[in-house]
Amino acid sequence: MSTSRFGKVAVLMGGRSAEREVSLMSGKGVLKALQASGLDAQAFDPAERDVSELKREGFDVCFIALHGRYGEDGTVQGALELLGIPYTGSGVMASSIAMDKAMTKRVWLAEGLPTPRYELLQRENLASVSADRLIAALGLPMIVKPAREGSSIGVTKVTRAQALPDALALAAQCDADILCEQCIVGDEVTCPVLGSGDGAHALPVIRIVAPEGNYDYQNKYFTDDTQYLVPSGLTVEEEAALESLVVKAYQVLGCRGWGRIDVMIDGTTRKPYLLEINTSPGMTGHSLVPMSARAAGISYEALCEQLLGSASLDYPEARR
């Protein structure tokens, strides 16, 4: 693949979200890979520089290695649309919807796709929340998390009624909206998707086996105790059905470029339940999209270049 056609590449990393640390790790990996491929790639941190400088400095394309708010939620995508600079990943609307776990669930449910039962609470009304009613509706254990965060930040698996108030308070520190979700007990899996529209396709499924079943921020990024199984160990039929499901879930949200969808498979019924989608997945040494890509014969460097080649705009005809 020719590298000259990309021109001057900005790798957007860091940013102002709670996932800044992870984003910096992702961005440094992407930057190194693109430079090793001979591209004119440079780091750009929107927390330290105004995004308008991208246009003034003549950047031709952006690889978004930002995670969370202001990077994965449609805001930076909208800025790049106004600047007319193509970028990797989903556009404004899909990014915004996918960042909001409750809104994502609403779209999936409207399309008949399976996702765990949930209740959406507001920070300002937590004092009036009935723990008994929540538990009756969702059962225990229950997952409590901010509606618009990633990397398992602010997430609690509630196993006792007495722990619910603290879990709600923790999630409320991160977001005004708190998602309480039915806990599906079984196999935790994730599946990346590449491409757009009818050309979207799944990469190999990864089954995640975390210490004591706790796939939290620490076990995601800073320990080697979590096992990532690819091949997943699922049956051929289960894996094929899962890949079909995640591609459908990706398409109905209008995603493009790439993404990764997390799924729980009920240990008794073997029914899969969609949890959430990441439209700017991690690219660190512990990240799952590069791991799945390797299993499909795609190196980290080739993956970065392929993703950069998919960079686009919602309104390419308006590019100035």
Q: Mind telling me the catalytic residues?
A: 19, 151, 221, 260, 262, 276, 278, 282
Query: How many Å apart are CA 264 and CA 117, to the nearest integer?
Result: 13
Query: 83 with 59: CB under 8 angstroms?
Result: no
Query: How many Å apart are CA 66 and CA 80, to the nearest integer?
Result: 13
DSSP reduced 3-state for 269: coil
DSSP reduced 3-state for 272: strand
Pairing of the two strands 8-12 and 142-146: unpaired
Query: How many Å apart are CA 11 and CA 44, to the nearest integer?
Result: 6
Strand pairing partners for 90?
Answer: none
Query: 179 with 145: CB under 8 angstroms?
Result: yes
Question: DSSP states of 159-202 as a string?
Answer: -SGGGHHHHHHHHHHH-SEEEEEEPPPEEEEEEEEESSGGG-EE
Joined together, the tokens standing for residue 132 give 């008994």
Q: Residue 311's closest CA among 69, 60, 94?
A: 60
Pairing of the two strands 61-64 and 8-12: parallel
* Backbone phi and psi for residue 315, each to the nearest 5 degrees, phi listed first: -130, 70
